[in-house]
Amino acid sequence: MQPPTDPRLVPATYVVLQREGPQGTEVLLQLRRGTPFMDGWWACGAAGHVEAGESFPQAGVREAREELGVTLRAADLRHVATVQRTCALPDLVEQRVDVFVTATAWEGEPHVAEAHRAAELRWWPLEALPDTVVPHERLALDALREGRSGSLLVHGFEQSLTLVAAVGRNGVIGDGSAMPWHLPSDLRFFKETTMGGVLVMGRGTWDSIGRALPGRRTVVVTRRRGWSAPGAQVAHSLAEALLIAGDTEVFVVGGGEVYAQTIEHASRLVLTEVDLEPEGRTRFPAVDPTVWREVSREPGPGDDAVAAWVVLERRGDPAAG
């Protein structure tokens, strides 16, 4: 992962209201909607940036009033966890420090005070949270459940990007709707390379595959709100997709626009050189030899058009040794 060009951090406070219910400790979560980030996911009841001149507790008091319509006292807030997070894109908005605080006493009845940002509020048992909790917020809620108050947690710092693609002699990778070839040996290679990992792809690539691939988690990037498919986790931006992917090697598998957005931030390229020149308007980005060095090359099997499988690593990348 390449270091951010500017290490400034964006601070925010997250407020977790909690109570005792029939199934033990419950927390109040909101279902996000109408925002440019993580719509359709469950999140803490109130959260927001720390404004100039505010402390983390003061920001929590203000956000609870604005988003939930309740009054808190800063002195009553208890620190749960601090989460420092990033992703494999050096975007300043993704370099964050999030302080999570909890409250068990407040004035007023919690309700959705900003209907344009939340679809509903619901109390969830800490032992039975929904699957779609915003990933970095789940880290803090897990710390609360496990009694690890005051934890320092990190998210995204172990993330790396590997681009995986089959490329023709003319740079073509597809025609925008389907693969321009059928290469059984490369399908086997792709499976071996990505098995057990996380795939990030655009919706066009998903459509060309037609289903979720077994043994791998799939995150689909699409601008289409409301789109869903069995076996796919949906993101509406690349940064959102990488947040969902988490601390792991992320395999970016298409299409052309997603490759173009990620190649500058990738650590590895795993390319299949295809001995064909198909027609098509979708091409893999140019591979600059001053940036990338070839570390392995395996000849194709000779029974299809695969010329070679090639692995390249970014020059100067500490992960490359």
**For residue 79, how many other CB atoms are within 10 A of its CB?**
14
Q: Is it the case that residue 236 has pLDDT exceeding 50?
A: yes
The C-alpha atoms of residue 67 and residue 105 are separated, in whole angstroms, by 16
Q: What's the distance, CA 298 to chain centroid?
A: 32
Q: Which two tokens stand for residue 308?
A: 């070679």
Q: Inter-axis angle of helices 135-145 and 238-245, to 10 degrees?
A: 30
Provide, rounded to the nearest whole percent, the portion of the chain with pLDDT above 70.
94
Q: How confident is the model at residue 7 (pLDDT cuts 50, 70, 90)?
A: low
The torsion of the CA quartet 59, 64, 69, 75, rounded to 10 degrees, works out to -80
Specify the pLDDT at position 178.
75
Q: What is the mean pLDDT of residues 216-230?
A: 94
Q: What is the mean pLDDT of residues 6-19?
A: 88
Q: Is it the case that residue 123 has pLDDT exceeding 70?
A: yes
Specify the pLDDT at position 91.
59
Specify the pLDDT at position 94.
60
**Domain coordinates in residue numbering, the chain:** 10-155, 160-320
Helix residue ranges, H only, 77-194:
135-145, 184-194
Over residues 162-202, the pLDDT tens digits come to: 999 999 999 999 876 778 899 999 999 999 999 999 999 99
Specify the pLDDT at position 3.
44
Task: Name 292's bridge partners.
Answer: 314
Q: Is it the case that residue 240 has pLDDT exceeding 50?
A: yes
**For residue 105, how many other CB atoms are within 10 A of its CB?**
10
Specify the pLDDT at position 120.
96
Q: What is the pTM of this model?
A: 0.87
Q: How confident is the model at residue 4 (pLDDT cuts 50, 70, 90)?
A: very low
The C-alpha atoms of residue 219 and residue 238 are separated, in whole angstroms, by 10
Coil, helix or strand at residue 11? strand
Specify the pLDDT at position 9.
80
Q: How confident is the model at residue 6 (pLDDT cuts 50, 70, 90)?
A: low
Q: Does domain 10-155 have CATH number 3.90.79.10?
A: yes
Over residues 137-164, the pLDDT tens digits come to: 999 999 999 999 899 999 998 999 999 9
> Which CATH architecture is the domain 160-320 placed in?
3-Layer(aba) Sandwich (3.40)
Q: What is the mean pLDDT of residues 239-259?
A: 95
Over residues 59-117, the pLDDT tens digits come to: 999 999 999 999 999 999 999 999 999 888 865 446 899 999 999 999 999 999 999 99
Helix residue ranges, H only, the chain:
56-68, 135-145, 184-194, 203-209, 238-245, 256-262
Mean pLDDT, the chain, rounded, equals: 92
Q: Is it the case that residue 1 has pLDDT exceeding 60?
A: no
Over residues 311-321, the pLDDT tens digits come to: 999 998 544 44
Over residues 296-306, the pLDDT tens digits come to: 999 999 999 99
Helix residue ranges, H only, 82-128:
none
